[in-house]
Every structure is written in structure tokens, then in C-alpha cells.
Amino acid sequence: MAAHYIHGFSDAERRRLIAQAQMLAAPVFGGLDFSGDHSLLEVGCAVGAELHLIAQRAPHLALTGVDLSALHLRAGQAWLAGHAQIRLLQADARALPFPDDSFDVGMTIWLLEHLADPAAVVRELLRVVKPGGRVILTEVDNHSFGFDPPQPAISAWWDAFNACQAEVGGGDPYIGRRLRSIATCLGAEVLAEEPRLVISSADATRHRTEQLHYLRALLASGAERMLAAGYATAAMQQAMAAAFDAVQAAPGVAFRYGAVRLICRKPRP
Ligand SMILES: C[S@@+](CC[C@H](N)C(=O)[O-])C[C@H]1O[C@@H](n2cnc3c(N)ncnc32)[C@H](O)[C@@H]1O
């Protein structure tokens, strides 16, 4: 995975993940109620940035995070030292090292978009969640990203980013709209399928500058893989950066980016 994973495993990426979790906490966790749960598993947890936020919201939960990357996990262990409520393990989300019916809640956040076989992960989550427990999938729909008026240099970079993620990494950057069919094919009972607007210039609760900074960092996180694999050029990167500068200076330009949150339940026998 390491050579193909679009975001890479740098220190900058770990800082981006922690900032991202904080920036997107309201759309990712808003409306979720964990008061009746005791245990939660997040697969693809990276440094544990989301688990850290869940721990603040639900201190009664025993939290487990799983990731393939030893680098991310090592940084996460250091960062989360002292949080006895959270344990991090190295494992493949497609073959989880837990018995059946182990957790009340299983989650993915920005994971399935990177995998060629996302159903394998959902199948494992449904196995390790208790009967009646929930599986909550929050994943991107990269078709939802856009500016008004259009910003061609940013769109060109975004198209290249998505092509690189799909063709080199083997993932699906538009997976949000497939979550329901994946889960129902595996026998899950869908409780809710919710569009989540994660970035919006119309959102007065968050600063425009911070939201643009987030989008810019997201697009930049693919640069190393995109340039190495021939999906982008330095000129495209400069044009994209200049377009973000121009948008920053033009408060009339609107932007948005959305995701889908699917909440489903493992049927009782
Ligand atoms: C974009 S990050 C999301 C991290 C975290 N969910 C968050 O929101 O901060 C995706 C993570 O999935 C991990 N990953 C990719 N394939 C995996 C697999 N098969 N099993 C476990 N983790 C995997 C990567 O190492 C990376 O840390």
C-alpha cells in the first residue's frame, strides 16, 4: 500500500490528519449518540485523531483503533500517551484480529475510498460488531467538490488527484454514493444514509480562510504521488496554488465539499 497510497505517510500528513479531524468534527460526529454503547472500533484510524475526538465526546467508551501503517500508529501511540481509554493495533481492516461480536460500534472515516475491495472491510466490521450493533461509514464523494464560479486550475488538479487515487491506488474517490448498496448486499440493515457537507463557504460557523486552508492541504497531500506517477506537473501545482490564493482574495467565490455517512445495524439472529 505504501507506494500507492495517495496521501503518503509523512509527518506533514500526520499533522494534516489531526487538523482535518478537528476541522470536520461537526459533520463527521454531529448527531451521533454513543450513550448506550460500551466499545467502539475504528478501522483505518491512522494516528487516532478521530478516536481522540470520540474520547472527548464519549469518555465512557473503550476505544480501539486499527491501521496498517506502523509509522502512523507509532506517532499515534506517542500522541495519545496517557489516554488509557484508547488502544491502537496494527492490522489489516480486511482481516481483523477480533472474535465475532466484539464491539458495539464499528466505524470507518475516510478509509474505504482507498481500497480496491471496500466490501471486505464492511464484511469484517459486520462480523466483529455485536448483533444489534452499528456500523457507521463516513466516506467521501469527490464529485461533490467544487467552486462557483469554477476554478479550472483547481479542478484540473482535483481530476488528476482522483484519477491517481483510483488508477494507482486502486480506490474509489466517489465511494460515498455506493455505501448503501455495499452494506445492504452484506445483509446490514440501513438506519440512515446522510449527506454530510464537510466544507462550505456558506457555513458561517467556520472561517473561510481555515476551510480554504484545509482544502488546499488536502489537494497538496497528493502531490508527491501524482508527480511521481505522471498525473500532474509542477506547472499544474503552481497554477492550483495560485488559484487558491485568488479564491482567498475573492470573498464572492463559493466552494463546497461533501461526504456521505451511512449508519447501519447488524441484524440480530
Ligand atoms: C485518510 S487516512 C484516515 C485516517 C483516519 N480515519 C482519520 O480520519 O484521521 C486512511 C488510513 O487508512 C489506512 N489504511 C489503508 N488501507 C488499510 C487497510 N487495509 N487496513 C487498515 N488500515 C488501512 C492508512 O494507513 C491510513 O492511515
Answer whether residue 151 is part of any domain. Answer: no
Is the shortest distance between the CB of 114 and ligand 1 below 6 Å? yes
pLDDT in tens, the chain (269 residues): 556 888 889 999 999 999 999 999 999 999 999 999 999 999 999 999 999 999 999 999 999 999 999 999 999 999 998 899 999 999 999 999 999 999 999 999 999 999 999 999 999 999 999 999 999 999 999 999 999 999 999 999 999 999 999 998 899 999 999 999 999 999 999 999 999 999 999 998 889 999 999 999 999 999 999 999 999 999 999 999 999 999 999 999 999 999 999 999 999 98
Atom of ligand 1 at shortest range from CA of 49: 9
| Residue reference for cell 481522540 | 52
Would you say the pTM of this structure is higher than 0.85?
A: yes
Q: Assign residue 119 the CATH number of its domain.
A: 3.40.50.150
Q: 7 vs 108, 114, 257, CA distance in Å?
A: 17, 10, 18
The reply to whether 35 falls in a domain is yes
Give, for ligand 1, the residue of 4, 53, 111 to mutate: max count of ligand atoms closer than 8 Å to Cβ: 111
Reduced DSSP (H G I as helix, E B as strand, rest coil) percent helix, strand, coil of the chain, to 5: 45, 25, 35
Instruction: Say which residues have a Cβ less than 8 Å from residue 256's Cβ, sequence separation at least 6.
Output: 144, 145, 146, 197, 199, 200, 201, 202
Kindly state if the Cβ of 111 falls inside 6 Å of ligand 1.
Answer: yes
Q: Which domain holds residue 127?
A: 11-144+170-201+253-265
Residue 214 falls inside a structural domain: no
Residue 115 lies in a domain: yes
- Number of domains making up the chain: 1
**For residue 93, which atom of ligand 1 is closest to its CA?**
20
- In ligand 1, the atom with minimum distance to the C-alpha of 108 is 6
> How far does the centroid of ligand 1 lie from the alpha carbon of residue 268, in Å?
29
Residue 80: inside a domain, yes or no? Answer: yes
